[in-house]
Structure formats: C-alpha cells, structure tokens
Structure 1
Amino acid sequence: MKSIVFFNNKGGVGKTTLLCNVAAYLSIEMKKKILVVDADPQCNTTSYCMSDKDLEKFYDNDKRESIESFLNPIRRGKGYVQKRITPIKTERFGFDLIAGDPKLALSEDLLATDWDPASSGKPRGLQTTLVFSHLSNLYKEYDFILYDVGPSLGALNRSVLISCDYFLIPMSVDVFSLMALGNIHKSLENWKLGIEKGLANHKKDEEEDFTIDGNPVSWKLSFIGYAMQQYKGKTTRGVKVKVNAFEKVARKLPKLMQSEIITPHASNLNLDFDLGQIENMNSLIPLSQLAHSPIFALKGRDGVVGAHFTKVNEARGIYKAICDRLLANLGGEVK
C-alpha cells in the first residue's frame, strides 16, 4: 500500500477534480484497489462522489462514520482506535471513500498545540501529529490511499503530509501557483526538521524508537509529480498550442519546480515529474459534478450531447496518460 496526498497551498487548481478522476481511473480502468480519504473540512470530494440523496442521509445521521470519527478519540485524549471506519462504496467512481466532515476543522487546534511537544520528542505529541499514519495502517489491503486536503499549510495538512509516502501537486498556469511552490518548499523543510528532531529526542529520552502500530517511524514523504490544470488550448493547423496569456508563466515552471520541489523533496531525481496537462473541459466538469460521475465516464443520460462525447473520450485519454505516468513513477505494479 502506498499513500499519496494531492496538495497545493493555492486553491482553485482543480485538485479535487483531479484526485477523484485519477482515483476513478485507477480503480475502474486499471483495476487497482483504491481508498480515498477526504481530509478537507470543506468535503468537496465527498460531495462530488456521493449523490445528493445519499449525502443528506449520511450527514443527517449523528452516528455517521466519517474522518471525524477517526480523529475524535484523539481529540478526547483516548489515543488511537483500532476499530476501522467502514468506507463508503462510491456508486460511479469505483473507489472506496472515507467521507469528509466539517467537524474535522475542530482538530486543527489540537494538532497545532501538539506540534511543539512532537518536535521535542514527547510521545503524546508524536502520536497526535502522526495520527494519519495509523489510519493508513488500518487499510493495508488497498493498493493506494489517496488523501484530499484543503489549500493551506496549517496543522491538519501538516499531519496528513507527514504521514504519507508521496505528495502530488495539482497546478494552474498562473503566477500565484508559482509563488505557492516556495511556500510548500519552506514548510516541508521546517516540518521535516521538526519531526526528525522529535524522533531523535524521543529515542534519546526513551531509549527506543518511536513506533506506530509496531513500526518505527521516519520521514518518508517524497514528491511524485505534478499535473497542470485549467490550461486552455487553441488549435493552429490542427495542433494544440498554448494561448499567449499562459506562455510566460509556463516557461518559468520547470526551473522553479526543479529548484523548489524536485531537487529538495524527490527521492528519485530521474523520474518524469510532469504527469500531464489537462485542458479546460468547458461544461463537462459541471455535468460531472451534477451526475456525481467521473468526467471520462459521463453518458448521454448525464446531459452529454454532440461534441461533448468527443470531449469525454479526450478526458479518458488525459486521465489514462496521467495514471500511466503516475504508476511509472511509483515503480509500476504494487507488490
């Protein structure tokens, strides 16, 4: 099992759309066993994948099993729970889902407060900070666990990132996405220093490694690639080319990505980190959201007509290429 968090400090980059469609393609077309964890209090992944009727029924239940059910015992001082949350079987996306919950935002203060004890090596602080490592350990039968998080560098996202194997950055072609890369780099550097200091202090004070579920913990997060969103194309002599408004930013991206993200945060510098570019899909995304369906699986009954069918097939090709490159970077088949 490998855990991957889709993350960008900048919002509006199509992160949730990318994650859900990649997860769906891996599950439906590539027959991978996929678990998606909605760790964003805005719950966009959950609302995308579940029908309106199922959403209402789920959240009207005070005893619902969501990501908050997992974090709540930690917040109440009861430590890790061994009981698994039962994932939701998504109807059209093919993957299993641990639903998001707006109450997850209540864990932000606890995770922020316990960071200093974690970096000092205190067991309680480390246990709280690395809580998502325990969550992933409970679902080892999956090939991949994909985490969706909000666009922030706060304590909640820090805990998710620190606990994952890889991170993937959805990008849009604008100057603010470029600026966000520097923020991500600085934050990851600081978090790595903090957690490694904490683990070293724990070993010194307790005379043993800090473990989660019997396994020694270490910093393992590695960059696995980026995908470009909201890229508008035009056709010149039958060939898709970039529009002028994006060219300047697009030219700056490879060098900045290399210096801020790839060189300091990738474990293998020889990979092709450009997973693909996703052209603006016009009205397909709203149709996908209304139908609670992957873009590449939209049907006529979902409102697809005429030339939209060509766009649906193009989307299938785009997500296939991204998934092929992602699996290649991950080393192919999961053993």
Structure 2
Amino acid sequence: MISVAMFNNKGGVGKTTLTYHLAHMLQRLGHRVLAVDLDPQSNLTAAFLDEESLGLLWDEPATPAWGGPHQARLWTQTEQTSGTVVTAIQPIMDGIGDIRAITPVAINQDLWLIPGDLDLSRFEDNLSAAWPRGYTGSDLAALRVTTAFHRIIREAADEVDAEIILIDVGPNLGAINRAALLAADAVLMPLAADLFSLRGLKNLGPALREWRSVWQNTVLPKIPQAIAAPSGTMEPLGYVIMQPTMRLDRPVHAYRRWLERIPRVFSASVLNHPQFDIGTKYEIATLRNYQSLMPLAHDARKPMFDLRSADGALGSTQTLVQRCFQDFRLLSEELLRRLKEVPST
C-alpha cells in the first residue's frame, strides 16, 4: 500500500474536492482506496456522508428530522464498530491507553473512509508536547502519540486491504499536520494560480524538509521495534493547479504570470534546488473551473463526473461532465504512474 497526503499551507484551493474526486476515480480504475480525513474541519467526511449519518457517527442527539435508512445503513456497513479518528485516539487524549481500532466506513465497493471529527483539534496540544519528548527515543508514551495517525491508518488499511491511502489535512503547519504528513509516503500539492498559493509553497517546503530531517535522523533510529513508526518520506509528487478561469482551454491573462512563477518557486522552496529549471515536470495537471457542476454534485451527493440528467446536468452541462471525467481519469493515471516511483511502507 502507499499513502498520499493532499496539502497546501494555503486554504481554499480545492484540496478536499481533489481528494474526494481522486478517491472515487481511483476506485473506478480498479483500486482499493482508503480516504482519511485528518482535517479538523472534516469537510471530506461531510462530502462522503449525509447529515443523518454524520449525526449518528458524531453521537449527536437525534432530532425529529432524523431516522430512516441512512442511520441503519451506516451501522450495517460497519457492524457497529465505526467511529471517527477521534474515537481512535480518545484513549490517548484521556491518558488511559493507546489507540483504539476502528473499522472504516464503507462508501461503496473498494472505497472506505476514516471519518474526521471537529474534536480532533483537541489533539494538537498532545502532539505539540510529544514532539520534543520523542527525541531521545526513551519516552514511549510520546512516541505513541506522534505515531498515532500512522498506526490508525495502517491498521484500517490492513483491515480492508487498501492499496492507496489518500489523506486530507488542513491548511496549516501545526502539530496535527506534522503528524499527518509524517504518515504519508508522498505529498500532492493543490495550488491556485495566485500569490497566496505561492506564499504557501514558500512556507510548506522548508517545513517538510525540517520535519523529514528531524524524524529520519533524530527520532526514527531510536524508536523501539515494538512501536510501528512511519518512515517520514513525504516525497513531493508535484502539484495540481486547481480551477483557473479558462478561455479557449488556456488560463486567462490574469493567471498567466502566476502560472509562470510556480515551477521556480516549487523548485526553490519544495525541492530545495533554486538553480534548477524544472519546467512543467512537477505539474501533474491543471483542472478547469467546472462551473455549475459542483453545486449539482453537492446536492446529488456524488462526484461531478457521475452527474446525470436526473441530477440536473442537462444539455451542454453533460459535455462538461464528460470533460470532467476525462480530466480526473488522466490525473489519476498520472498520479498512479508517479506513485510507482515512490517507495511504499
């Protein structure tokens, strides 16, 4: 199996949308996929599950509007062993034990989800305190905290025999994201063609290098074999440019100057090669603005490329649906090709 984190220090670039659609397309291409929501905002979970299922999963009190097949479906699929990532780390946060095994929620055949939870933000302090305490390798409690996400993901992936793990994380460089990214073999970076995304890359690259160096050189060699630990590879796969306004299949002039700067910033900040001309080598795809497809997909609770006329995708909108399918298929195939070059753990 191999794990990929979707990450950019800049929010609002379509990271969760990318994760959601890649998960569905990779499954469509014949792969067993586990999606993991490690963003405390839990937007990926909300994309996969309806409100009734979320209420049951998060143990919210029932309301008169609830009831019906969705609650029963959630529990039937998971045999009442489902939970969120917070369910899994609750014993650590309570100081009474190690991680608790949870069964991923089955979305459909060969696609599963480890749901997120807004309470995940409470784990930030645990992770911040554990990071420096793990330097010596003798503080086993600290090492269990730092490796918790990795072990939760691996146990769930082993249970469903997942081939590809997609990890959605929030747009910051805090302790939660450090632990989440350490659990990733590779990192895919969604970008918008604007100043803010470039600034995000400039912060992201040095942070990844520092975390990788500290983990691999200082912490990992001292971790006892009894604790399953990630390799901390975090290999930069490349970037996906999200939703520029298109005209005649080309970005309009307002975006062009930012598009031209992305390779230089990526090479200098992420790859640490300021003098290298990488061209478009790390540009995996450019995804257009699919206009009205997103709200239709949200209402239909399905990927944009699965929309049908019954969902409101009528006339010329169906042409856009077909183009969306082709775009995500090509992106997924290129992602799979690049993942073959990344050592899996």
TM-score, normalized by length of structure 2?
Answer: 0.85
Report if aligned partners of 1:225, 1:326 keep a CA contact under 8 Å in 2: no
Q: Matches of 1:23 and 1:333 in 2, distance apart?
A: 19
AA aligned opposite 2:129: T
Aligned counterparts, 1:1-335, within 5 A: 1-28=1-28, 30-60=29-59, 65-81=83-99, 84-90=101-107, 95-121=111-137, 122-138=139-155, 139-140=157-158, 141-199=161-219, 203=222, 209-211=223-225, 213=227, 218-235=231-248, 240-263=249-272, 272-331=281-340
Runs of at least 5 residues in structure 2 that lack an aligned partner in the other structure: 62-80
Report if aligned partners of 1:117, 1:124 keep a CA contact under 8 Å in 2: no
AA aligned opposite 1:125: A
Moved more, 187-196 or 17-26: 187-196
Q: Matches of 2:243 and 2:175 in 1, distance apart?
A: 28
1:187 Cα deviation (Å)? 1.1
Q: Matches of 1:101 and 1:77 in 2, distance apart?
A: 19
The residue number in structure 1 matching 2:64 is: none
Report if aligned partners of 1:275, 1:326 keep a CA contact under 8 Å in 2: yes
AA aligned opposite 1:162: L
User: Identity of aligned pairs, percent?
Assistant: 30
Would the alpha carbon gap of residues 77 and 178 (structure 1) be closer, same or farther in structure 2, given more than 3 Å must change?
A: same
User: Partner of 2:134: helix, strand, or coil?
Assistant: helix
1:142 Cα deviation (Å)? 0.5
Q: How much is the aligned-residue C-alpha RMSD, in angstroms?
A: 2.6
1:334 Cα deviation (Å)? 11
Q: Matches of 1:133 and 1:13 in 2, distance apart?
A: 25
Would the alpha carbon gap of residues 321 and 262 (structure 1) be closer, same or farther in structure 2, given more than 3 Å must change?
A: farther
Report if aligned partners of 1:130, 1:159 keep a CA contact under 8 Å in 2: yes
1:61 Cα deviation (Å)? 5.3
Q: Matches of 1:303 and 1:35 in 2, distance apart?
A: 29
AA aligned opposite 2:198: L
Moved more, 148-157 or 111-120: 111-120
User: Partner of 1:26: helix, strand, or coil?
Assistant: helix
1:181 Cα deviation (Å)? 0.7
Report if aligned partners of 2:151, 2:229 keep a CA contact under 8 Å in 1: no
Report if aligned partners of 2:16, 2:43 keep a CA contact under 8 Å in 1: yes
Moved more, 191-200 or 96-105: 191-200
Q: Matches of 1:279 and 1:229 in 2, distance apart?
A: 7
Report if aligned partners of 1:119, 1:197 keep a CA contact under 8 Å in 2: no
Report if aligned partners of 2:304, 2:324 keep a CA contact under 8 Å in 1: yes
The residue number in structure 1 matching 2:68 is: none
TM-score, normalized by length of structure 1?
Answer: 0.87
1:179 Cα deviation (Å)? 0.9
Q: Matches of 2:39 and 2:189 in 1, distance apart?
A: 16
Report if aligned partners of 2:82, 2:102 keep a CA contact under 8 Å in 1: no
Would the alpha carbon gap of residues 218 and 26 (structure 1) be closer, same or farther in structure 2, given more than 3 Å must change?
A: closer
The residue number in structure 1 matching 2:71 is: none
User: Partner of 2:41: helix, strand, or coil?
Assistant: coil
User: Partner of 2:271: helix, strand, or coil?
Assistant: helix
Moved more, 290-299 or 312-321: 290-299
Q: Matches of 1:31 and 1:96 in 2, distance apart?
A: 14
Report if aligned partners of 1:3, 1:136 keep a CA contact under 8 Å in 2: no
Report if aligned partners of 2:194, 2:255 keep a CA contact under 8 Å in 1: yes
User: Partner of 1:223: helix, strand, or coil?
Assistant: strand
Moved more, 45-54 or 190-199: 190-199
Q: Matches of 1:301 and 1:7 in 2, distance apart?
A: 34
